[in-house]
Structure 1
Amino acid sequence: MSTLLIHHPSFLEHVTPIGHPERPDRIRAIDRILEHERFQALEREQAPVGTIEQAALAHPEAFVQEIKDAVPETGLTRIDADTVISPGSWKAAMRGVGGVCQAVDEVMAGKVKNAFCAIRPPGHHAEKDRAMGFCLFNNVAVAARWAKKQHGVERVAIMDFDVHHGNGTQDIFWSDTSVMYTSTHQMPLYPGTGAVNETGAGNTIVNAPLRAGDGGAEFREAMEVAILPRIEDFRPDLVIISAGFDAHHRDPLGQINLVEADYAWVTAKLMDIADRSANGRVVSVLEGGYDLEGLAKSVAAHVMTLMKA
């Protein structure tokens, strides 16, 4: 069994203003590095178009419709200071929703061991009824709910190593004890959430904030002390990764100093837990990562590790 790569040209059609960090070149950088012969064994599938019903697993249907209605025929529309939609944004967002559900389907069916979804716009800042922080729909939340609805999965663990806290994922699963949300992130930093005492209504939210200047040693300690034992004890049936690569030392949006080896390490650790309780099932979904070289090399290390399953 192999690793599945979910991708689609539509992810290039979500256009942002010149100088915006969340830009189509991110996908081009990932596409280029995954064309290398090291990645020949990847199963590759184009993301299908998701449905409003799938997006509505994580968001009120009225909110999903609101985003659809806000998409301009030409030019750009700002949802907030950071978050922009263009004529191609709806198509990209719905391929993202469809792509993560497809990844869950194939992993749950045992067709592949794990999957990486190279999608944009990212998702982890999207709250139940609010698009923000470059994000329209919360892709990992959709994936978790789809796994439960479509495949009868009882427990899902989400691990978010983006440099920014996934306030949206925390918001969606605050009172849902069937989903554990765990996060390492720089604090203080956008969006201001993610303190250690934010533990959810049923103690299934685990935040392990890092400080500006921290690097691999502090990141690995946070994972080994605060997060990995909690995920292990939760015994998830599926592990989902919010794979943001902006804690890389080259990234302009954070001040954490991770290197590619740190991403390979955490990927392997999460795979080990998945092997013990989830038959190895891991679905990884792209979040941030804004330095193109750092992003490409980190994705390569992450996917290379997934392929060792």
Structure 2
Amino acid sequence: MSTAFYTDPACLNHATPEGHPEQVARLVSILAALEHRDFAGLDRRQAPLAEVAELLRCHPQDYIDRIRAAEPDAGNHQLDADTWMSPGSWDAALAGVGAVTAALDAVMAGEARNAFAAIRPPGHHAETATPMGFCLFGTVAIAAKRALDHHRLSRVAVLDFDVHHGNGTQDLLWNEPRALFVSSHQFPLWPGTGRAEETGPHGTILNVPLAPGTRGPDFRDAWERQVFPRVDAFKPELILISAGFDAHIDDPLAQLALTEDDFIWITHRLCDLADAHAGGRVVSALEGGYNLDALAASTAAHIRVLMERGA
């Protein structure tokens, strides 16, 4: 088998104001890095635009309508302090959801052992009816719901190593006992959520706050001690990854100090868990990462491991 890679040119049409960290160049830098011969065997696929029915797995119709109506005919429209739309943002958001759900379907069908979705805007800050933190729809949470309700899995784990707490995913899966959500993140840091005591009504939320300046050894220790035993006990039938690379030491928006080697390590360890419980099934989606060189190198390292483990 191989690693399926999904993206769509529509994700390049979501434009933010000049100087905004979540910029078109993020995806451009990743795609350029994947032109290296190391990625010749990557199974590259066109992402479909998601149907609105997929968005409804997590978001109410009135919120979906509000986001669609907010797309401007020209220029930019500001939804909150950080989140913007431009002409093309609606299709970009649908392509993001479509990429992750198509990746899920391919892995569930046995067409690929694992998959990665290179998408923007990201998704893990979008709450049930609130766009936040560059995000419009909860892409990975939607995929988790599809895995549970369409593919009829009993247990899905969503594992998020972005430097910011995945408050949107937590909100969308808060009442879902079939989904284990884990987030490691710098704390304190925007959005201010993600305290260890936030465990959810079913005990299926695990937050791992990390102090500013945390380096690779302490990051790895936190996952080994706190996360992996919980995932082992949960025995997920699928692992979904919110792959944010803004915990990199060179990222301008936070103060963790990881390197590409740490992202290689965690990708291998998450694949180990998938091998143990989920037949190797892993679907990963791009979240943050705002230093273009660090983002491209870290994403490439992550995908390289997925390809190695998916072979």
TM-score bin, normalised by smaller chain:
over 0.9
> What letter is aligned with 1:25?
A
Name the CA distance, whole Å, in 1 between partners of 2:149 and 2:79: 30
Aligned to 1:128: 128
Between the aligned partners of 1:203 and 1:45, the Cα distance in structure 2 is 37
Matched, 1:196 2:196: yes
Query: 1:168 aligns to what?
Result: 168
Code of the residue aligned with 2:306 in structure 1: it is L
Conserved 8 A contact 1:160-1:244: yes
Residue 293 (structure 2) pairs with residue 281 (structure 1): no
What SS does the corresponding residue of 2:54 show, helix, strand or coil? helix
Bigger CA drift: 223-232 or 17-26? 223-232
Q: For residues 46-88 of structure 1, what are the alpha-carbon distances to aligned partners after superposition, in whole Å with 9 as ceiling and x for unaligned?
A: 1101011101111112111110011111111100010000011
Q: Which residue of 1 aligns with 2:78?
A: 78
Structure 2 Cα separation of the partners of residues 61 and 242 of structure 1: 25
Q: Residue 116 of structure 1 corresponds to which residue in structure 2?
A: 116
Specify the code of the residue in structure 1 equivalent to 2:44. Answer: R
Residue of structure 1 in register with 2:21 after alignment: 21
Per-residue CA deviations over 1:143-191 (Å, capped at 9, x if unaligned) read 1111112211111101100000000111111121100000110000000
Pairwise mapping of residues 133-144 of structure 1 onto structure 2 (< 5 A)?
A: 133-144=133-144
Question: Could you tell me how far apart the structure 1 residues matched to 2:150 and 2:100 are?
Answer: 13
- Correspondence list, 1:232-247, <5 A: 232-247=232-247
AA at the equivalent of 2:237? D
How many pairs are equivalent? 309
Separation in 2 of the partners of 1:141 and 1:259? Answer: 27
Give secondary structure in 2 for the equivalent of 1:307: helix
Aligned to 1:153: 153
**Which stretch shows the higher mean deviation, 142-151 or 179-188?**
142-151
2:104 aligned residue = 104
Separation in 2, partners of 1:36, 1:12: 20
Asked if structure 1 preserves the Cα contact closer than 8 Å seen for 2:164 and 2:185, the reply is yes
Find the counterpart in structure 2 of residue 254 from structure 1. 254
Q: CA separation in 1, counterparts of 2:306 and 2:62?
A: 37
- The answer to whether the 8 A contact 1:119-1:285 is kept is yes
Indicate conservation of the 8 Å contact 2:122/2:135, yes or no.
Answer: yes
Specify the code of the residue in structure 2 equivalent to 1:303.
Answer: I
State the partner residue of 1:94.
Answer: 94
* SS of 2:239 mapped into structure 1: strand
Alignment-mate amino acid for residue 111 of structure 1: E
The 2-side partners of 1:56 and 1:34 are apart by 33
In structure 1, stretches of 5+ residues that fail to align are none
Over residues 241-270 of structure 1, what are the superposed CA-to-partner deviations in whole Å (9 max), with x where a residue is unaligned? Answer: 000000000000010000001001001111
What is the one-letter code of the residue matched to 1:306?
Answer: L
The amino acid of 2:110's aligned partner reads G
- Post-superposition Cα deviations, 1:80-130, rounded to whole Å, max 9, x if no partner, equal 010000011001000111111100000001100000000000000000111
What pairs up with 1:5-16 in 2 under 5 angstroms? 5-16=5-16
Q: Partners in 2 of 1:174 and 1:9 — Cα distance?
A: 33
Residues 24-63 of structure 1 show CA distances to partners (whole Å, capped at 9, x for unaligned) of: 0000000000111000111000110101110111111211
Q: Distance in 2 between matches of 1:218 and 1:137?
A: 32
Distance 1:113 1:149 in 2: 21
TM-score by length of 1: 0.99
Counterpart residue type for residue 267 of structure 1: T
CA distance in 1, matches of 2:70, 2:149: 29
Q: After the TM superposition, which residues 194-233 of structure 1 pair with which residues of structure 2 at under 5 Å, given as runs?
A: 194-233=194-233
- Corresponding residue for 1:47? 47
User: Which residue is equivalent to 2:271?
Assistant: 271
Gaps of 5+ in 2: none
Query: Is the Cα–Cα contact under 8 Å of residues 53 and 61 in structure 1 kept in the other structure?
Result: no
